[in-house]
Amino acid sequence: MNTNAVTVDVVRFWRGRLLFLAWLRWVMEFCLVWGCAAATSTAWALDAWTQTNGPPGGTFTAFAVDSSTTPSTLYVGTDGGGVFKSTNGGAQWSAVNTGLTSRYVYTLAIDSGTLYAGTDGGGVFKSVNGGTQWNAVNTGLTSRYVRALTIDSGTLYAGTGGGVFKSTNGGTQWNAVNTGLTNSQVFSLAIGSGTLYAGTSGGVFKSTNGGAQWNAVNTGLTSSYVYTLAIDSGTLYAGTNGGSVFKSTNGGTQWTAANTGLTNGQVLSLAIDSGKLYAGTNGSGVFKSTNGAVSSNSQLSNLTVSIGSGAATLSPSFSATALTYSATVQSASATVTPTAWINDSVLTVNGNAATSGVGVPVALNPGVNSILVQLVSGDETTTTTYTVNITRQVIAPDMPTNVQAVAGMAGSGQVSVSWTPPTSGGTSALTGFIVNGNPSGGCTAAVGTNSCTVSGLNFGTSHSFMVTATNADGASTTSVVSNAVVPQNTQAITFPAQGSPNYSVNGTYSINPLASASSGLGVTYSSSSPTICGVSGTSMNMVSAGACIVAANQGGNVAYVAASQVTQTVIIQRGNNTITFPPQGSQPYTQSGSFALSPVATGESSQPVTYSSTTPSVCTISGTLVTKQAVGTCTIAANQAADNNWSAAPQTTQSISITAGTNTITFPAQGGQTYFTGGSFTVNPVATASSGLAVTYGSSTPTVCSVSGTNVQMISAGTCTITANQAGDATWGPATPVPQNVTIAKGANTITFPAQAAQTFAANGSFAINPLATATSGLTVTYTSTTASICTVAGTTVIMVAAGTCTIAADQAGNGNWVAATQVLQNVQVGQRTNTITFPAQANQTFVANGTFAINPLATASSNLPITYSSLTGSVCTVASTTVTMVAAGTCNLAADQAGDSNWDAAVQVTRALSITGVTPGAPTNVQATPAGPGQVTVTWTAPANTGGGITSYLVTAQPGGQTCTPTPATATTCTMTGLTNGQTYTFAVEAMNGAGSSSSGGNPPATSNPATPLVNPQAFTGTVPAGAGGNAGAAVGVTVSGGGNTCVFEHITVLSVSSASTAPPSHLNFPNGLLDFALNGCDASDVQVTLTLPSPLPQGGRYWKLSHDVWAPYANAVTQAGSTTVTLSLRDGGPGDDDGQVNGRIVDPGQVAVATNPADTSGTTAVPTLSPASIAMLALGLAWFGWKRKSRR
């Protein structure tokens, strides 16, 4: 949304009506304070008013009263004249405008003696001394078109063309509070009981939290332009454009028109005093209401019928225009709650007075009950009757549910019956419950008791029950039948003592004598000690020895409950145990050998069978593992201890034959060996015999190796076969010989090649390899070159080919016993020759912008290779080939380099320094001056092309006054000069400085900027008519600019003498107010209006004259009127009135206002074209007097 465009429309609307509205607000608010005669009316009526001695012209737009003084102090805001003040009831007025830079004041507010003024374009101003001094308080106020101000407990709110703003510190800081405020054109504000209301071009908005959140409240508000708001004891009034006055008694939730007697629909102002409501209209004067502007509305906004805590359903759903409704209930009473659309209507229910929103109890008879709700409008012009037909139904209670029967204690013959009461008791309260049994029995229960006990029932007979609910209107249907229950009797068991049998695996024992039940029913048996015994029927199964507990039970039947369990303990004694030990196979002897018993011995006991040896010299035993000690008969004894079920078993033995052992050799694999002359190695690991006897060795390959003990002697490379032997003894037989092959690999052959001394390159030069390389095999080493481009080798002599790294390879090929040696390389550095540079001294130079000079004399190299040059001081000089380019004054350091080649090394860099002497710089160009705020102008420029060897600083001088400014940093091309006189037009000269002096001292006069005029308000100027201009000399001339966008402001402006014109005007022209020269900057392509306020009225014949192509002519787009003190120019960037004729954001419009000595004489004049930029030159402005009363111009 374009807020600026909307704001302009609002300004145009208000200014077009302010002459009337200002008078209306003044007299109305004056009468509210001082009292005026008025006719009394029950609705609206025109009042009689008495005019006071108002401010000059009477055109004002705001009014405020400070009641803390005696008499009250009156303030009025005017449309262009600022604020006026009266301390004697309006008899005299005085202007109080010091510091008030915007004189279009549209709203005033007072808080504890502090006065606030909302202005058109200037924002909010504040005065703490009754208007003597004003200060702008606009920080954060982004919209400066303020139409409404209101204060609540020290919090200040401003309604603007950009929404609502809030300040909690007297305007020091503003914050926008517009969340939910979907229309930002705020015309009015009102606050009551902490609730803030805003009247906008889109209706009324409401905030209950100080503007943090807004909500539209426009139901019933048929006119969206709300110009004024007022609050009286909770009643909210809105004055609208075309809809007259609306009122709401519920905080804006509903609105209704309150216009009886109000004949004008455009209400611009509302005020309340002691219950009286005043409305100011556009063209029909002021109307007054003494009864709150009662409305003609007699409608409901809501109607409900409720029963207890619930709501009855109306048919149809409520609508303000539907008059007849029906509802069906089952209650003997209901509550009817009517809510009036507006609270000034008279409300009755069935003829009895009622209050809006408060429920009215109504008794209901069975059948249809007609309820009449009637409203009479506050102005007694309309009556509306609503009819509600309520049908009361009579219904018996619902039947009880969830009927449950539970048998009582066995032997009691009782059953407890419970149920869930019905959710609906019908149309009257429940009175009780009746329980009936089948085939017999019953009971009753009171309301609130949902169970009862039925007694005297037969054991073993099935009974079920039904329940009925009753109320005053009858009984419910019988409930669903309950579950069936059977009352039961008790019984007991007799169980005699039992015998003590011996344990046997899977043994059984019959229960004897058996148990019996007093009911005569059969008894069943079970084991309570399942780890000892189990029971099946009347037979007991043995699990282990111990105490077997047998339980006797009788589970009852339909007539008897289960009997209490009875137990008897049967002691099961231990059984007799024997060991089974099968025969064992014979075992061959092995030294420290062992074997496991197999099969092992077994017994009946759960204890393990244990073993021992009765022949420890032949064998020993641990667990079931037998260790062989010698050849012979090994006897093993088996034993088993008693356990819980079995006694200890008698010992049993078995004999095992240990026969003589077998002798075997284990000969592990041997590691490979590498041949060397006279070499030997040891058998490792050695062979072992299972008998533990010593092993002997021999060689099966005598041409490769021989063996002595465990030492093997290498004869040649190849496969050496070693045989291991063991002859045995009386206990062990001879072992089978075992061979092992050992691979004897060729010997490792390595070359040692010592480092070689570096050489200096000489064409066809040679040198001997020294020291020579040697091989560990003792065989001869041969040599080759791997870098033929650097060197070659013949025997042990190296021939140099070029400088570089000469790589010599040493090789040895090996033989039958030695492998070929790995090639070994040695690098011999063939060095380059030394390269040197000779660089003679260079002559000093004088700086010339972009100047060059040749290096002379040139540098030379001992290698005769070409030299390259560079600059070591790029900020002073640069080098290309042998040409030096001057960059700045200073020391220029030149470097000479020679990179060498393959045979010559790079030469050491040689430098030469020379001085470049600076000269004075050229003058800066393109000097531009732009006002930057009160007393400030920012000057920018372009650095000179000729810096004279480098700029060190700039100096800016203002004329008149000679004030200076230096930039920061010193070489920056912009500087803001402060402390200038507002309203004085300045030009600025810029000088460049360096070590040789200033641009001016070098014969370069400084360039002068365009004129610039600092102003307090960049869109307003006040000047003085210069001397020699006639009777108006020394008088004030005011000039303002509007349009062209928010940034369109004065760049410079001044009032000059007539003699300052570049071309003298025609002699018949008189310029009583001097000449006006100005330029605007920051303007867009829209029209711009420049308004002049002159010190005296224009006489007949006053016209605007411009100078175009050295010819004076009237300007067609100027509005003048004899007797007026204002002159208006219409200008456009690049169009009418723009002297430079370019669309560049600047409008240059020097000119004058002239009064012809003979007003009718227009001879020799030619109208200046207004649409041709080329023909627009200087504007001639006739400065005249500006009065307080002015007509709307927008």
Segments making up each domain of the chain, as ranges: 3-41+54-227, 300-392, 401-475, 493-572, 579-659, 665-745, 751-831, 837-906, 925-1008, 1020-1180
Q: How confident is the model at residue 1165 (pLDDT cuts 50, 70, 90)?
A: very low
Please state which of the ranges 148-162, 751-765, 883-897, 1155-1169 shows the lowest mean pLDDT: 1155-1169
Half-sphere exposure of 312 (CA within 13 A, CB side): 26
The pLDDT score that the predictor gives to residue 45 is 53
DSSP structure class, residue 1174: G
Residue 266 has pLDDT above 80, yes or no: yes
The pLDDT score that the predictor gives to residue 764 is 83
The pLDDT score that the predictor gives to residue 7 is 29
The pLDDT score that the predictor gives to residue 1153 is 58
The pLDDT score that the predictor gives to residue 730 is 63
pLDDT digits (tens, 9 = 90+) for 659-671: 877 889 999 999 9
User: What is the mean pLDDT of the segment spanning 70-96?
Assistant: 89
Q: How confident is the model at residue 1001 (pLDDT cuts 50, 70, 90)?
A: confident
Strands 415-420 and 430-438: unpaired
pLDDT digits (tens, 9 = 90+) for 163-175: 999 999 999 999 9
Determine the topology of domain 925-1008 in CATH: Immunoglobulin-like (2.60.40)
Beta-bridged to residue 203, according to DSSP, are 200
Does domain 665-745 match CATH 3.40.50? no
With residue 3 as reference, give the H or E element that holds it.
Answer: helix 3-15
With residue 13 as reference, give the H or E element that holds it.
Answer: helix 3-15
CB proximity list for 749: less than 8 A, separation 6 or greater: 775, 776, 777, 779, 812, 814, 818, 819, 820, 821
Distance CA 1067, CA 1157 (A): 9
> How far is CA 1121 from each of CA 154, 500, 1094, rounded to the nearest angstrom?
48, 147, 12
Please state which of the ranges 152-166, 270-284, 406-420, 426-440 shows the lowest mean pLDDT: 270-284
The pLDDT score that the predictor gives to residue 1189 is 27
The alpha carbon of 57 is separated from its chain's Cα centroid by a whole number of angstroms, namely 58
Rg (CA), the chain: 64
Please state which of the ranges 34-38, 650-654, 667-671, 741-745 shows the lowest mean pLDDT: 34-38
The pLDDT score that the predictor gives to residue 99 is 93
The pLDDT score that the predictor gives to residue 1109 is 67
Between 1174 and 256, whose confidence is greater? 256
Half-sphere exposure of 904 (CA within 13 A, CB side): 16
The pLDDT score that the predictor gives to residue 2 is 35
Q: Which two tokens stand for residue 684?
A: 């490792």
Counting every residue, how long is the chain? Answer: 1194
Question: 25 φ, ψ to 5°?
Answer: -65, -40
User: What is the mean pLDDT of the segment spanning 317-323?
Assistant: 89
Are the C-beta atoms of 332 and 417 separated by less than 8 Å? Answer: no
The pLDDT score that the predictor gives to residue 221 is 92
The pLDDT score that the predictor gives to residue 833 is 80
> Looking at this protein, which amino acid is placed at residue 1096?
S
Q: How confident is the model at residue 567 (pLDDT cuts 50, 70, 90)?
A: very high
Distance CA 168, CA 137 (A): 12
The highest-level CATH class for domain 751-831 is mainly beta
> How far is CA 457 from each of CA 54, 451, 1167, rounded to the nearest angstrom?
109, 17, 131
Q: Which two tokens stand for residue 851?
A: 């100047």
Question: 34 φ, ψ to 5°?
Answer: -105, -15
> 289 in the Ramachandran plot: left (φ > 0), alpha (ψ -120 to 50) or beta?
beta
* Residue % of the chain over a pLDDT of 90: 53
Q: How confident is the model at residue 1156 (pLDDT cuts 50, 70, 90)?
A: low
Please state which of the ranges 374-378, 652-656, 768-772, 929-933 shows the lowest mean pLDDT: 374-378
Query: How does the average pLDDT of the chain come out, rounded?
Result: 85
The pLDDT score that the predictor gives to residue 725 is 93
Are the C-beta atoms of 555 and 491 separated by less than 8 Å? Answer: no
Distance CA 1148, CA 1051 (A): 9
- Compute how many other C-beta atoms are within 10 angstroms of the C-beta atom of residue 366: 12
Residue 8 has pLDDT above 50, yes or no: no
The burial of 347, by beta-carbon neighbours within 10 Å (0-12 exposed, 13-18 middle, 19 or more buried), is given as: buried
Please state which of the ranges 126-130, 334-338, 1137-1141 shows the lowest mean pLDDT: 1137-1141
Distance CA 115, CA 128 (A): 6
Are the C-beta atoms of 454 and 443 separated by less than 8 Å? Answer: yes
The pLDDT score that the predictor gives to residue 525 is 94
Please state which of the ranges 178-182, 832-836, 1000-1004 shows the lowest mean pLDDT: 1000-1004
Residue 1006 has pLDDT above 70, yes or no: yes
User: What is the mean pLDDT of the segment spanning 866-886?
Assistant: 95
Distance CA 915, CA 768 (A): 56
Distance CA 133, CA 121 (A): 19
Q: How confident is the model at residue 1158 (pLDDT cuts 50, 70, 90)?
A: very low
pLDDT digits (tens, 9 = 90+) for 673-707: 988 888 899 999 999 998 889 999 999 999 999 99
* Residue % of the chain over a pLDDT of 70: 90
Distance CA 945, CA 950 (A): 11
User: What is the mean pLDDT of the segment spanning 893-911?
Assistant: 91
Residue 1194 has pLDDT above 80, yes or no: no
Distance CA 1115, CA 533 (A): 135
Beta-bridged to residue 992, according to DSSP, are 954
Distance CA 447, CA 1008 (A): 110
User: What is the mean pLDDT of the segment spanning 1097-1107?
Assistant: 80
Q: Which CATH superfamily is domain 3-41+54-227 in?
A: YVTN repeat-like/Quinoprotein amine dehydrogenase (2.130.10.10)
Q: What CATH number labels 493-572?
A: 2.60.40
Between 32 and 385, whose confidence is greater? 385
The alpha carbon of 302 is separated from its chain's Cα centroid by a whole number of angstroms, namely 44
Are the C-beta atoms of 1184 and 1102 separated by less than 8 Å? Answer: yes
Q: How confident is the model at residue 333 (pLDDT cuts 50, 70, 90)?
A: confident
> Looking at this protein, which amino acid is placed at residue 770?
N
Distance CA 126, CA 108 (A): 10
Strands 824-831 and 837-838: unpaired
Determine the topology of domain 401-475 in CATH: Immunoglobulin-like (2.60.40)
Residue 1178 has pLDDT above 60, yes or no: no
Return the CATH architecture of domain 300-392.
Sandwich (2.60)
User: What is the mean pLDDT of the segment spanning 127-144?
Assistant: 94
Residue 147 has pLDDT above 90, yes or no: yes
The pLDDT score that the predictor gives to residue 1154 is 61
Return the CATH architecture of domain 579-659.
Sandwich (2.60)
User: What is the mean pLDDT of the segment spanning 608-617?
Assistant: 93
Residue 763 has pLDDT above 80, yes or no: no
Strands 508-510 and 533-536: unpaired
The pLDDT score that the predictor gives to residue 1152 is 53
The pLDDT score that the predictor gives to residue 40 is 36
Tally of helices (H runs) and strands (E runs) in the chain: 2, 105
The pLDDT score that the predictor gives to residue 799 is 94
Q: Which two tokens stand for residue 111?
A: 């808080």
The pLDDT score that the predictor gives to residue 16 is 36
The reply to whether 925-1008 shares the fold of 3-41+54-227 is: no
List b or e across 892-913, with b for residues whose CB sees 16 or more CB atoms inside 10 angstroms: bbbbbbbebeebbbebeebebe
The pLDDT score that the predictor gives to residue 1064 is 83
Beta-bridged to residue 539, according to DSSP, are 510, 536
The pLDDT score that the predictor gives to residue 1170 is 35
> 624 in the Ramachandran plot: left (φ > 0), alpha (ψ -120 to 50) or beta?
alpha
Q: Which two tokens stand for residue 1177?
A: 């030159």
Q: Which two tokens stand for residue 1158?
A: 């003979």
